[in-house]
Structure 1
Amino acid sequence: MRILHVVPSFVPCLAAGGVVNASYQIAKKQVELGHEVYVFTTDTCINRLVFENNYDVDVDGIHVYYFKNISNSFKNRFTIDTPRGLKGQLKKQIKNFDIIHIHEHRHTLAILAHKYAVENNIPYILQAHGSVLPFFQKEGLKNIFDKIWGFNILHDAKRVFALTETEKEQYLKMNVEDKNIEIVPLGIDLEEYNNLPKKGEFRNKYKISEDEKLLIFIGRLNRIKGLDLLVKGFNDYLKNYNDDNVKLAIIGPDNGFEEEIEKLIDKFNINDKVILTGPLYREDKLKAHVDSDIFIMPSQYESFTTSGLEAMASCKPLILTKCNHIAEWVDGNCGISCDYNIKSLSKAINTLISDEELMKRYGMEGRRLTEEEYNWDKILDKIIKIYSKVISENNK
C-alpha cells in the first residue's frame, strides 16, 4: 500500500506529546511490513526543526515532508498551523495514495487533507487520540472549528479509531455511526524493553540512594496532567505516612505549567524530595523507568497513557486517576486507580509502597498485558486489515 499519515508534529519533536510517538511507531512498523509510507507534517517544535531539504526527509524509511509553518512562535502559542506548500503537495500527490491516516482533526492539515481526499475519492481514517469532544481548553474555539470543519472531517472518515470504549462513546456523541468506529489502542515497541539499561544510572545522576523508593511522572508539564495534584498528594503522603525514604521525579518538557509546580514545591518545602529533570527521551527515559518503583499519571483527563505502557513494559506498577480512560482495567490488575483528590492519591501511594509483593505482582501483570494486548506488531496487523477493508469498500 501507499499510505499517507497527516499529523501536525512528528519526530524528532517528541516534546509535542504522545501523538508524535504513536504516529511515528505506526508509520515505522508499516515500513517494516513493506508498505510505502509518507508523512505530511510541519517543522514546528519548541524550536523550529531544521533540515537541508524539508520535503521527503528519510526517517527510518518513512518519507516525511516537514512543511514550514509561517511562524513557529504563533503555532506554539495558539496551536494554529500555517503550513506553506501543503496545499500544492496535496493537490499534486493525493491520487498516488491508497489511503490516508489523519491523526487528530482540529488542525489546518486535517482541513486540507479532508478537502482533497473527498474531492479525489481517496479514503481516509481519522484517529482523534483523545480529542474527540470539544472540552477542557479553548472550548469556544473548538466548537466553532467543529461547526465549520470538524463535524465534516469526522463524518466523512471511512473509519475512526477509538483508543478505548470511552472514546468510542465520545465519537457516538459526535454522531459518528457505530459501524465506522474501530477500537484500536496504542501500543509499545517491546524490542526497546527487552534489553533495558543497567540499574542505577538515573539514581546516580540525581543522587537518589538505592534504598529510597522512587516515584516518577513522565509527560508534558501541562495543567491537564494533574501535576498540582501530584505534588499536593505526594506532600500529603510525606506528612501523614511519615516516610522520609522516598523521592518523586517529574520528567518532561515544560508546557506552560512548570512555574506553578515549582511554586508548590517551594510552598511545601519539599525541594529535597522532588526532582524536575526536564525532558528525557529514548535511552535516558528508559533509565528512569528502570530505576523507578512506581509510575504515576494523575491527569485531569487522559484518553490513554503511552508513558504508562512504557512503565508496564518495564515491569513497574501504575497509579492513575479515574479520569484516565484506561483506569478501569489498570485497577487491581497492574496498578491502582484513585479519585482525583489529594487524600485518595496519597492513600494509593501508601498502598503500593507498603507492599513489595503487590508492586511486584502488578509490575509482572503489566508486562504480560503489553506483550499480549498492547504490542505494536499485533495492533499494526489490525490496522492494516482495516485499511484493506476500507480500500476494498471504497473501490466497489
Structure 2
Amino acid sequence: MNILFISHLCGSSFAGPTYSVPKQIETQATIDNIFWYNASAKGKEEWKSLPYYHNLTEFPDESIYSLPDPFDKPDIVIVEQFYNMARSNIRKELVKGKIPYIIIPRGELTNQAQMRKRMKKSLANIFMFRKFARNALAIQYLTEQEYIDSGDKWNSKHIVISNGIDIPATAKTEFSTDEIKCVSIGRIEPYQKGLDLLIEACSLIKNELYKANCTITICGPDREGKLESLKKMVAEKNLQEIVLFHDAVYGKEKEKMLLDSDVFVMPSRFEGHPMALIEALSYGLPVIATTGSNMRKVVDEYKTGWTADCNAKSIARALMKMINNFQSIKNYSKSSIELSKQFSWKLIAKLQKEQLYSILNCEKEK
C-alpha cells in the first residue's frame, strides 16, 4: 500500500506529536510503502536522514500533485492533526479532489479541546474545517474515550487506533519503603494538564500526604509562562515540601526519573492518547489518571492504578487510595507492564494496515 503521511511538525521537544508521529511512520514503513511530507521548513535534524522523509524545502508547492509517483496519487493520505491544516493548500486539494484520506486529530476535536480559543475555532470550523472533517473517509481517534468526547458531529465514520511505545529493556523492580515518590511529566500547561487541580487536591489532603512522606514532582517545559503562578499557588497553600518542580526531562534523563519514582500522576482535563502515561506503564509505574487522560477505562480494567474525575476532590480521593494501598504497589506494577504490551508499535502498525484496507474496500463497494 502506498501511504502518504501529511504533517506540519516543527520538532518542538515539548510536543507529543514530535515523538508519536515519527515513530508511527517509522513502524508503518516496515510493512508499507511510505512517503512522509512534513509541510514545514522546520523539523528535527535527524528526520532528514530517514529515506521516506521530505519537507517543504524539497517540495515548496505544498501540493500532493507535485510529489513523485506514486505519491502524487497515493492509495490513501493520513493527515496528522487537524488545525495545522488551516493555511495548507493540501487541505483544499483533499476536499475538492478524489484523494482518499483519514484524519488523526490527536485530541483536537474533543469537547474539552474545543473550549480553548472557542470563538476562533467555531469560526474556523464553519468556514473550513467541518467540510474537511466530513469529507474524510474516517476520523482516527487514539482511544475510545477520545471518540466519545468528540462525537459523530465531525464525521460518522471513525476508527480507534492508539499511540504506541517501544517496550523498554528495564522496568521497576523495587519501590520506596519509607516514602512515596510520585512524578508528573508533561508540558506546564495548567488548564489542559490539570496541574491546578492536582495542587488543589494536594491542599485538601495535605496532612495525609505529609504523614505518608509523599511528594509529587512536576517535570516539564514552561510553554505558557505559567510556572511562576503554579509555584505561587503551591506557596500559598504551604505545599512546598509536597509539590516540587523540575525542568523538562527527555531520553535517558526521563527514563531515570521514571525508574526513580513510584507512581505516575496524570490529572489532565483532556488528552489524545498520552504517550507519557503509557511509557510510565511500560516501566512498571502504577498511575493516577483522570477521565481526561483518556486512559481511565483501561487503568480500571487492568488494575494498574487509581482513577479520578477531573476535579480536585476526586483526585484527592485517588491519591488517598494510592497511599492506603501502597503496600500492594508491586501487584499494580506487574499489571502496568502487562497493559503496556498492548501498545507495542509493531502491533499498532499491523492494526493500522488492516483498518486502512477495510476503509478503502468499503469505499470501493459504494
Q: What secondary structure sits across from 1:15 in the alignment?
A: coil
Q: 1:115–1:195: structure 2 CA closer, same or farther, 3 Å change rule?
A: same
Q: CA deviation at 1:130?
A: 1.3
Deviates more, 1:97-106 or 1:108-117: 108-117
Superimposed CA distance per residue, residues 188-226 of structure 1 (whole angstroms, 9 cap, x where no aligned partner): 221xx12359989xxxxxxxx984321111111112111
Out of 358, 363, 366, the residue aligned to residue 336 of structure 2 is 366
Q: TM-score, normalised by structure 2?
A: 0.86
Residue identity in the other structure for 2:291: K
Out of 264, 269, 283, the residue aligned to residue 300 of structure 1 is 269
Q: What secondary structure sits across from 1:125 in the alignment?
A: strand
Q: 1:394–1:329: structure 2 CA closer, same or farther, 3 Å change rule?
A: closer
Deviates more, 1:239-248 or 1:386-395: 386-395
Residue segments in structure 1 that go unaligned for 5+ positions in a row = 68-83, 201-208
Of structures 1 and 2, the one scoring higher in RCO (CA 8 A, sep 6+) is 2
Q: What secondary structure sits across from 2:99 in the alignment?
A: coil
Residue identity in the other structure for 2:195: L
Tell me what 2:213 maps to: 245
Tell me what 2:153 maps to: 174
Deviates more, 1:337-346 or 1:245-254: 337-346
What is the identity percentage for the equivalent residue pairs of Structure 1 and Structure 2? Answer: 22
Tell me what 2:170 maps to: 195
Q: CA deviation at 1:272?
A: 3.8
Q: CA deviation at 1:290?
A: 0.9
Out of 165, 187, 194, the residue aligned to residue 226 of structure 1 is 194
Q: Note the aligned Cα RMSD (angstroms).
A: 3.0
Report how many residues are paired: 357
Out of 236, 245, 258, the residue aligned to residue 289 of structure 1 is 258
Q: What secondary structure sits across from 1:42 in the alignment?
A: coil
Residue identity in the other structure for 2:53: H
Mapped to 2, the partners of 1:103 and 1:36 lie a distance apart of 14
Q: 1:228–1:100: structure 2 CA closer, same or farther, 3 Å change rule?
A: same
Q: TM-score, normalised by structure 1?
A: 0.80
Matched, 1:386 2:355: yes
Q: 1:101–1:109: structure 2 CA closer, same or farther, 3 Å change rule?
A: farther
Q: CA deviation at 1:299?
A: 1.3
Out of 128, 138, 143, the residue aligned to residue 122 of structure 2 is 143
Mapped to 1, the partners of 2:278 and 2:262 lie a distance apart of 15
Q: 1:293–1:66: structure 2 CA closer, same or farther, 3 Å change rule?
A: farther
Deviates more, 1:238-247 or 1:97-106: 238-247
Mapped to 1, the partners of 2:44 and 2:330 lie a distance apart of 44
Q: 1:118–1:321: structure 2 CA closer, same or farther, 3 Å change rule?
A: closer
Tell me what 2:19 maps to: 21
Tell me what 1:325 maps to: 294
Residue identity in the other structure for 1:214: K
Superimposed CA distance per residue, residues 333-358 of structure 1 (whole angstroms, 9 cap, x where no aligned partner): 21111233333322322221332343
Q: What secondary structure sits across from 1:214 in the alignment?
A: strand
Mapped to 1, the partners of 2:243 and 2:31 lie a distance apart of 43
Q: 1:283–1:37: structure 2 CA closer, same or farther, 3 Å change rule?
A: farther
Matched, 1:58 2:49: yes
Mapped to 2, the partners of 1:156 and 1:89 lie a distance apart of 18
Superimposed CA distance per residue, residues 352-393 of structure 1 (whole angstroms, 9 cap, x where no aligned partner): 13323432222211211121x322211111111222344456
Mapped to 1, the partners of 2:174 and 2:256 lie a distance apart of 7
Matched, 1:124 2:114: no
Mapped to 1, the partners of 2:139 and 2:154 lie a distance apart of 12
Q: CA deviation at 1:318?
A: 1.0
Q: CA deviation at 1:117?
A: 3.1
Mapped to 2, the partners of 1:342 and 1:88 lie a distance apart of 46
Mapped to 1, the partners of 2:248 and 2:54 lie a distance apart of 24
Q: CA deviation at 1:34?
A: 5.3
Mapped to 2, the partners of 1:140 and 1:29 lie a distance apart of 38
Mapped to 2, the partners of 1:346 and 1:98 lie a distance apart of 49
Q: CA deviation at 1:294?
A: 0.8
Q: CA deviation at 1:133?
A: 4.2
Out of 22, 34, 37, the residue aligned to residue 36 of structure 1 is 34
Matched, 1:353 2:362: no
Q: Is the 8 A contact 2:102 2:139 kept in 1?
A: yes
Mapped to 2, the partners of 1:197 and 1:161 lie a distance apart of 33
Tell me what 1:311 maps to: 280
Q: Is the 8 A contact 1:105 1:153 kept in 2?
A: no
Out of 162, 184, 208, the residue aligned to residue 185 of structure 1 is 162
Superimposed CA distance per residue, residues 173-201 of structure 1 (whole angstroms, 9 cap, x where no aligned partner): 41512xx31111222221xx12359989x
